[in-house]
Amino acid sequence: MKADRHQVLGQVLDVAAMRAAEAALIGGGTPAQALMEMAGRALGEWARRLGAGRPVTVLCGPGNNGGDGYVAARHLMEHGVSVTVIAAREPATPEAMTARSLYMGAVQAARALSQGGVLLDCLFGSGLSRPLSDDLFLLLTGLAESHTLRIAADLPSGVESDSGAVLNSGLPVFDVTVALGAWKHAHYAMPAAPLMGALRLVDIGVEAVPGAARVLTRPRIAPPAADAHKYKRGLLAVVAGAMPGAALLSAEAAQRSGAGYVKLLAPKRPDGVPPALVCDVSDLAALADPRIAAILVGPGLGRSTDAKARLDAALSADRPVVIDADALMLLRPDSPGTAARVLTPHEGEMAALEASFGLSANDSRRVRALALAEASAAVVLLKGPDSLIAVPGGNVTVAPRASAWLSVAGSGDVLAGIIASRLAVHGDAFLAAQEGLWLHGEAARRCGSAFTAGELAAATGYALSAALS
C-alpha cells in the first residue's frame, strides 16, 4: 500500500463526514452500486476466510448496510459457502433493493433463527441514533447466541457511531468488526469499543477528509545524534510535592524515555532516590536554569496553598510543561505562563477542569477534550480505556484499546513522565503526547499481566526501542 494511502486509512470519520466522502466518490464517477459491491464482497471474503468452511448466516437490515449483506451473501454463495440470509426488514434504498434482486438464494423471514457457524450482522451500521426495536433486538441477540463466530459489518447493530453510545443494553459481543470505508469514532470509544472484537478495515477509495481525527500509530523516534550530550537530549525538571513517591515514579519513566537529564526538584531529599536521579534541594530556585527544556508538575504535588505556589512557580518558568494529577485540580484560567502545555486528566480531573474553565460536561469525550484544549490553549490527553488527544484548532488522535492491566495505581504518573521526557527532547507538545501515549501502551503490552507501576516504568525503555526509526 502506498504511504499516502496508508495515511488516508488512518483517519476516523463521523457520520456526516463519511456520507460526504461517499458522496464525493459518487460525484467523481463511482456509482453507489459499485461502492456497495466493493464493501459487500470484502465483507463476504472476511466471513469466508474467518469461517473456514462453516456456514454463514447474514442478517440484513433495510438500509445500505443490509445491501452490503446481500452482496456478501452472493459472494459467499459464488465461493461454495452455505449461506442463510435473514431479512429483518425489506430493503428501503435503491442500492439495497438492487443488491437483493441480484442475490439468487433464498431469503428467510425475520422470525427465522438459524444456528451454527458464522453470523454476519448487516442489520444497521453507522447513522443509527435510536435503540433497536424489541423484535430486532431479540432477533440479533438470538442469532448471536446460536453462532460460534460473530462478525459485525461496519459497526455492531445498536451502537451510535459518533459517540460510541450503546443504544440497547445487552448487545452481543462480536469477534470481529469490519469497518467499511473508514474508521468511525465508536470503534475506539467506550462503551461500544469492547463489543467490537478485532478491528479490520475495508478500503473503498474514500479520500482524505481535512480535519478528520486520526488513529494513534507507532511513532518514529530518532536516536540521539552522534554529537549528543545530556543537555542536547533535553533536561527535564520534575517538581515534587507533598507525596514525592509519585514524582519519583514519573522520573524513572522519564529517564527511560529519551531525555538526557532528569532532575527532581524537591524541598528536601525524599527517601528512595536512586543514584542515577539528581535531586536538587535548592528546589524551585533551580527552575531559573536556562538549560531546562521541559517541566513536569503534578504527580504527588498535593492540593495545599504550598502546592499551588509550586504549580505557579513551575508555570512562571515559561518552559514547555506537562500538567498532571493534583496540578490539574489547581489549574485556573488565569494561571501564569504562556509556554506549550500538555494536560493529562482522567475523568475526575476532567470534570474539575471543566468546572474551573466554565465548560459543559454534557457531550462526548472527544467534544469535551476539544473544548478544554481551546479554552486552555493546551494539548489535552484525556485518559481512560478510550484515551484520546485533542489540540486547539480541532486535531484529535484516538488511541486503540490498550491493556486493561494499565488500570493500576501509578500508571498515570508513568505516562506523565514519558510525555514530559519526550517534550524535553523536542518541545512539540502534540507530538510528545502522541509518543507518550503509544509508549505507555507498548510498555504495558511488554509487561504482560498484573504488573506494578514500577514495572511499567522499567519497561518504558524497551517500548522506546520498538519506536526507534
Measured between alpha carbons, how far is 25 from 31 in angstroms, rounded to an integer?
8
Question: What are the tens digits of pLDDT across the range 326-362?
Answer: 999 999 999 999 999 999 999 999 999 999 999 999 9
CB count, 10 Å around CB of 237? 28
Cell reading at 421:
521526557
Domain boundaries, the chain: 3-210, 230-467
Question: What are the tens digits of pLDDT across the range 411-464?
Answer: 999 999 999 999 999 999 999 999 999 999 999 999 999 999 999 999 999 999
Q: What Rg do the C-alpha atoms of the chain give, in angstroms?
A: 25
Residue 367 makes CB contacts below 8 A (sequence gap 6+) with: none
3-class secondary structure for the chain?
CCHHHHHHCCEEECHHHHHHHHHHHHHCCCCHHHHHHHHHHHHHHHHHHHHCCCCEEEEECCCHHHHHHHHHHHHHHHCCCCEEEEECCCCCCHHHHHHHHHCCCCEECCCCCCCEEEEEEECCCCCCCCCCCHHHHHHHHHHHHCEEEEEEECCCCCECCCCCCECCCCCCCCCEEEEECCEEHHHCCCCCHHHCCEEEEECCCCCCCCCCEEECCCCCECCCCCCCCHHHHCEEEEECCCCHHHHHHHHHHHHCCCCCEEEEECCCCCCCCCCCCEEECCHHHHHHCCCEEEEEECCCCCCCHHHHHHHHHHHHCCCCEEECCHHHHHCCCCCCCCCCEEECCCHHHHHHHHHHHCCCCCCCHHHHHHHHHHHHCCEEEECCCCCEEECCCCCEEECCCCCHHHCCCCHHHHHHHHHHHHHHHHCCHHHHHHHHHHHHHHHHHHHCCCCCHHHHHHHHHHHHHHHEC
Over residues 261-266, mean pLDDT: 97
Measured between alpha carbons, how far is 195 from 176 in angstroms, rounded to an integer?
9
At 6 the pLDDT is 85
Of 307, 321, 308, whose CA–CA distance to 433 is shortest? 321
Considering the chain, what is the average pLDDT of its residues?
96
At 32 the pLDDT is 97
At 4 the pLDDT is 77
pLDDT at residue 380 is higher than 50 = yes
The CATH class of the 3-210 domain is alpha beta
Measured between alpha carbons, how far is 30 from 164 in angstroms, rounded to an integer?
30
pLDDT at residue 112 is higher than 70 = no
pLDDT band, very low/low/confident/very high, at 113 (cuts 50, 70, 90)? low
At 377 the pLDDT is 98
Backbone angles phi, psi at 462, to 5 degrees: -70, -35
Given a contact cutoff of 8 angstroms between Cβ atoms, the answer to whether 210 and 35 are in contact is: no
Query: By percentage, how much of the chain surpasses pLDDT 70?
Result: 99
pLDDT band, very low/low/confident/very high, at 1 (cuts 50, 70, 90)? very low
Question: What are the tens digits of pLDDT across the range 168-181?
Answer: 999 999 999 999 99
The β-bridge relationship of strands 235-239 and 107-108 is: unpaired
At 78 the pLDDT is 97
At 110 the pLDDT is 75
Of 455, 4, 29, whose CA–CA distance to 253 is shortest? 455
CB count, 10 Å around CB of 448? 11
pLDDT at residue 284 is higher than 70 = yes
- Distance from CA of residue 115 to its chain's centroid? 34
Measured between alpha carbons, how far is 240 from 457 in angstroms, rounded to an integer?
17
At 2 the pLDDT is 53
Of 61, 62, 90, 59, whose CA–CA distance to 73 is shortest? 59
Amino acid at 420: A
- For the domain bounded by 230-467, which CATH number is listed? 3.40.1190.20
pLDDT band, very low/low/confident/very high, at 116 (cuts 50, 70, 90)? confident
Question: What are the tens digits of pLDDT across the range 388-399?
Answer: 999 999 899 999
End-to-end CA distance of the chain: 19
Cis ω for the linkage preceding 223 (within 30 of 0): no
